[in-house]
Amino acid sequence: MFLAGAECPFTCSFCDLWRWTLDGPTPPGALPAQLEQALGTLALPLPDRLKLYNASNFFDRRAVPGEDVPRIAELASPFATVTVESHANTVGPLTLELAALLTGRLEVAVGLETVHPLAAAQLNKKLDLDRFDRAAAFLAEHDVDMRVFVLLGAPYVPAEESIEWTLRTVDYAAGHGASRIALIPVRGGNGELERLQALGDFVPPTLAQLETALERCVATRPAVVSADLWDVARLSGCEACRSERVARLGRMNRSGQTQPPISCSLCA
């Protein structure tokens, strides 16, 4: 469920989610009303998991008013697991407040993005590995699951090293307790990425890179790793075999296993 609320205070250079947020604080009652309406459209039986993405941080009270949390938890009661998103900096006591209210388990989705030292310092995310480590340890200590977002094609990472740094970041996330990891190919369109591309500091990832990264992850990594296929049509690639490769990515996402390779004479 995508919920519209206040904009995230962190202005990460790769992010475009601010386009679907409000100009000011989230009005009390707005998120429960959206969630209730959306849940009313679901057919039975309900899925096991509910993911609440508000294009911000669930534990930022400007984005999610505290008085709304009990009602949100009540609406989420039919689900075995509830996922919310949060910057590592806002993981803390408010996380435990939500976990205590939920009937099912809580999973917190945290953006690690990349462990490439130059790129991590330049993303304007205001996150270093020590802070990520503390958030991961806090979640593990309180029996809260962690999902991690990892970028493919992060700005300032050389294109020829992009896959390797993605794999290193996946390994780091898994080593710090992430049970699920999403590979997100960086997508242009927010203006800043176009500026960085013009400077030579950003090279958009390709469909082939995403396929290779996921294939290597599902073959060897302990966590559940999937590829984010949102706007996958924007990734450059061979048009003759694109649909087959996207379908293969989908099969690897669902099965968690490598799939037979796609043969294409035009991009061999």
pLDDT at 169: 97
Q: Are 123 and 155 in contact (CB under 8 A)?
A: yes
Per-residue pLDDT tens for 196-223?
Answer: 999 999 999 999 999 999 999 997 777 8
pLDDT at 222: 78
State the burial class of residue 134 (Cβ atoms within 10 Å of its Cβ: 0-12, 13-18, 19+). Answer: middle
pLDDT at 21: 84
Report the C-alpha gap between 202 and 197 in whole angstroms: 4
State the burial class of residue 191 (Cβ atoms within 10 Å of its Cβ: 0-12, 13-18, 19+). Answer: exposed
Q: Two tokens at 107?
A: 């999973």
CATH ID of 17-255, from 1.10.760.10, 3.10.290.10, 3.80.30.30, 3.40.50.360: 3.80.30.30
Q: Which residues of the chain have pLDDT under 50?
A: none
pLDDT at 268: 66
Q: What element of type H or E holds 112?
A: strand 105-113
CA atoms within a 13 Å half-sphere pointing along the CA-CB vector of 98 = 32
Report the C-alpha gap between 13 and 17 in whole angstroms: 11
CA atoms within a 13 Å half-sphere pointing along the CA-CB vector of 48 = 4
pLDDT at 161: 97
DSSP state letter for 65:
-
Report the C-alpha gap between 87 and 100 in whole angstroms: 20
Neighbours of 36 (CB within 10 A): 13
Report the C-alpha gap between 242 and 77 in whole angstroms: 40
The structure's pTM equals 0.94
Report the C-alpha gap between 89 and 133 in whole angstroms: 11
